[in-house]
Chain A
């Protein structure tokens, strides 16, 4: 099958109105907010060196914070603000999705607008400002009739830079729940769907280019006093906004929202849950690619209605427990603890997605390693790789303590690349996931944990507080409980990690239902 005939292009295209529309709305709203704040600041501080220096320094500092971190920071910040307003004024707002994304992006857009605004206004020949005064202009008239028009090219260059930055960075707002063109990129990276990754990159690049050109048209229109050009540019931007508003008019917002974290298994499971709800006649959409710290708070706040998490993760991260209990006991305790927050733990799906130390089967056999205890003797000459959070998680500390593990080097990696890395000998051991299909694909082995240092990670279905009494929802989901065994989930994950048309989460979810639906 040729690359261009790949049906995934069609699938990607079908998401475009939704993703692009959301992307345009959040980017332009952020840019507008950034301009509304920065331009007056640039004007107010143009003759005041001290505040100007402070302002520019602050904007520069914001700029050095990576976009992903800035976006992620706004979520807890707004959660806090929402709880404060709830307490003081009795009103709360959603700290999820649009609002944090827009605020973070607006902040991000401020530096180029401020810097170019101030540079443009300060670059004007003082003799001209004197002349403006001399012919009888008020300060305001001087600003509007002389200073702003003269600073316009430099200011517009800043606005155009900000627009391109914001549109590019908006792809990173997916993990905090704002749908964007980043959904293609995050989903594509996680499920090795390069068609999606490319599509997302091209779409956001084209959008940035288009907005930049439209702003350029407005600028040249203003500069050459051509109403036609300025008008065309403005109409172009307005048309872009209008076009992205249309497709969402018809979409209902009352349906169930199924959350998913940023890895393949989660994409498949959220598609499966969505399909089950739709089969039961409930309207449902999947909100994928949420950060693992964001998703639980989003459920608690009711921004999403349900998702699949793992018992050990909540045990450590939400309950802050370091002791380890048997599977069933841990789930039972967790259920009671979550009930205090009105979160329903509906049940286990049947499989476990635990951390496991993984190495090539051949190597393990050659060295006679079957358990982590066996590995400990060899560890000092071996390197280990884990995902971005593993080495800072309590499990890693527990493992080290229980087995006296001491590796020669440790590296952090994108989870999807770890398996290939250990298979090729790039690293000796990885902290993989027991449900990952790649363990079988690369002929790897997951070592036993005889001392039970790693807590159990049962996949569990969680419902938002507002769905506590929703029997229809529970009935639609109950056929899934306890039905998905580890072998089936591994195969589903392996399918999802392929790079072909059958590897999309939607297709794999249907395959998965075909396997477990009749059980």
Chain B
């Protein structure tokens, strides 16, 4: 029997008025797994992510985090123990990089010297320059640097689970690529469980162990990329066709590199 899942959704539903944002979804995310939730806008993927740390309260079903029903955990305490990376950073513009990173340990009441040491460690970890960035305000940073701060902030309180809401969506392709790779290796090194939302199937395939596909509030399919490719669902196949076509076209257009 495999170890208990880090996050488990059982028949979870959430409506906003007449709209069923999440419709009877059941999904397990294993400990140490990197899961990508893929879907278009309005598919319910963001709602599915946010009911996990109770940024949004589910209407029905059960969600457990590390075996515990989230309804039995104080939502503030729950959020402090789960890292969350926001779309385009969500950094507090009036706080320095260091204060942004150290915010959750501060909320947890860690002593200032400990926070400072942790902040330095995290700045190194996300490959920012301590001297150049530590005391700057977020506005002085590039988009990629800001998202690195966002990742550092999510990791500050040493969570075992990290939720990411389209973290690399707004970045240019090169930065996005580098950041994705860097995060992937952090995920492995720190033994994290990561759930990442993206609308980009290519990104999902490149980074995640497993992919869940959402559409109209329903979970259409889940599995590794190769499992998904055997799906009978037209929408899932359509989603997979895009990266395939990209590869074929790239292969046709780019001369084969001599080094390979």
Point out residues on A near B: beta carbons under 8 Å: 127-128, 130-138, 141, 145-146, 149-150, 223
Contact of B79 among A128, A136, A149, A223 (CB under 8 A): A136
Report 20 cross-chain contacts, Cβ distance below 8 Å, ordered by A residue: A128-B90, A128-B92, A128-B93, A130-B86, A130-B90, A131-B91, A131-B92, A134-B53, A134-B84, A134-B86, A135-B80, A135-B104, A135-B107, A136-B79, A136-B80, A136-B108, A136-B157, A137-B76, A141-B107, A146-B94
User: How does the 8 Å CB contact mask read for B92-126 relative to A, with 1 for contact and 0 for none?
Assistant: 11100000000110011000000000000000000
B62 CB within 8 Å of chain A: no
B73 CB within 8 Å of chain A: no
Contact B94 A127, beta carbon cutoff 8 Å = no
Chain B residues whose C-beta falls within 8 Å of the C-beta of A135 in the assembled complex: 79-80, 84, 103-104, 107, 153
Contact A131 B94, beta carbon cutoff 8 Å = no
Minimal beta-carbon separation of B123 from chain A (angstroms): 17
Q: Which residue of B lies closest to A133 (CB)?
A: B55
Q: Give A255 to B157 CA distance when docked, in angstroms.
A: 68
B202 CB within 8 Å of chain A: no
Q: Give A141 to B55 CA distance when docked, in angstroms.
A: 16
Sort A-B residue pairs by CB-CB distance and give the 3 closest, nearest first: A136-B80, A131-B90, A134-B84
Contact B92 A136, beta carbon cutoff 8 Å = no
Q: Give A308 to B104 CA distance when docked, in angstroms.
A: 71
Contact A150 B93, beta carbon cutoff 8 Å = yes
Q: Which residue of B lies closest to A150 (CB)?
A: B94
Q: Is the interface of A mostly helix, strand, loop or mixed?
A: helix
Contact A127 B87, beta carbon cutoff 8 Å = yes
List the count of A-B residue pairs having beta carbons below 8 Å apart.
Answer: 52
Chain A residues whose C-beta falls within 8 Å of the C-beta of B92 in the assembled complex: 128, 131-132, 145-146, 150
Minimal beta-carbon separation of B191 from chain A (angstroms): 21
Q: Give A223 to B137 CA distance when docked, in angstroms.
A: 12
**Could you list 16 further interchain pairs (A-B, Cβ under 8 angstroms) beyond the known A134-B86, A223-B94?**
A127-B87, A127-B90, A128-B90, A131-B90, A131-B92, A134-B55, A135-B79, A135-B84, A135-B107, A136-B79, A136-B104, A137-B76, A137-B107, A145-B103, A150-B92, A150-B93
Q: Which residue of A lies closest to B85 (CB)?
A: A134
Chain B residues whose C-beta falls within 8 Å of the C-beta of A149 in the assembled complex: 94
Chain A residues whose C-beta falls within 8 Å of the C-beta of B84 in the assembled complex: 134-135
Minimal beta-carbon separation of A135 from chain B (angstroms): 5
Chain A residues whose C-beta falls within 8 Å of the C-beta of B103 in the assembled complex: 135, 137, 145
Q: Give A149 to B92 CA distance when docked, in angstroms.
A: 10
Minimal beta-carbon separation of A237 from chain B (angstroms): 24
Q: Give A275 to B39 CA distance when docked, in angstroms.
A: 90
Q: Give A403 to B79 CA distance when docked, in angstroms.
A: 87
Contact of A134 among B79, B88, B93 (CB under 8 A): B79
Q: Give A133 to B163 CA distance when docked, in angstroms.
A: 14
Minimal beta-carbon separation of A272 from chain B (angstroms): 62
Q: Which residue of B lies closest to A132 (CB)?
A: B92
Q: Give A133 to B165 CA distance when docked, in angstroms.
A: 14
Chain A residues whose C-beta falls within 8 Å of the C-beta of B55 in the assembled complex: 130, 133-134
Q: Give A149 to B90 CA distance when docked, in angstroms.
A: 16
Q: Which residue of A lies closest to B53 (CB)?
A: A134
Contact B87 A133, beta carbon cutoff 8 Å = no
Minimal beta-carbon separation of B194 from chain A (angstroms): 15
Minimal beta-carbon separation of A245 from chain B (angstroms): 36
Q: Give A376 to B108 CA distance when docked, in angstroms.
A: 89
Chain B residues whose C-beta falls within 8 Å of the C-beta of A223 in the assembled complex: 94
Q: Give A135 to B53 CA distance when docked, in angstroms.
A: 10
Q: Give A150 to B95 CA distance when docked, in angstroms.
A: 10
Q: Which residue of B lies closest to A134 (CB)?
A: B84
Contact B79 A133, beta carbon cutoff 8 Å = yes
Q: Which residue of A lies closest to B106 (CB)?
A: A145
Q: Give A449 to B70 CA distance when docked, in angstroms.
A: 93
Minimal beta-carbon separation of B53 from chain A (angstroms): 7
Q: Which residue of B lies closest to A129 (CB)?
A: B90
Q: Give A364 to B190 CA distance when docked, in angstroms.
A: 106
User: How does the 8 Å CB contact mask read for B66-88 relative to A, with 1 for contact and 0 for none?
Assistant: 00000000001101100010111
Chain A residues whose C-beta falls within 8 Å of the C-beta of B108 in the assembled complex: 136
Minimal beta-carbon separation of A433 from chain B (angstroms): 63
Contact B76 A138, beta carbon cutoff 8 Å = yes
Chain B residues whose C-beta falls within 8 Å of the C-beta of A150 in the assembled complex: 92-94
Interface centre among A128, A136, A137, A149, by most chain B C-beta atoms within 10 angstroms, is: A136
Q: Give A133 to B79 CA distance when docked, in angstroms.
A: 8
Chain A residues whose C-beta falls within 8 Å of the C-beta of B107 in the assembled complex: 135-137, 141
Minimal beta-carbon separation of B195 from chain A (angstroms): 14
Minimal beta-carbon separation of B41 from chain A (angstroms): 16
Chain A residues whose C-beta falls within 8 Å of the C-beta of B90 in the assembled complex: 127-128, 130-131, 134
Minimal beta-carbon separation of B111 from chain A (angstroms): 18
Q: Given A136-B80, A149-B94, A150-B93, A131–B86 Cβ distance below 8 Å?
A: yes
Q: Give A92 to B210 CA distance when docked, in angstroms.
A: 78
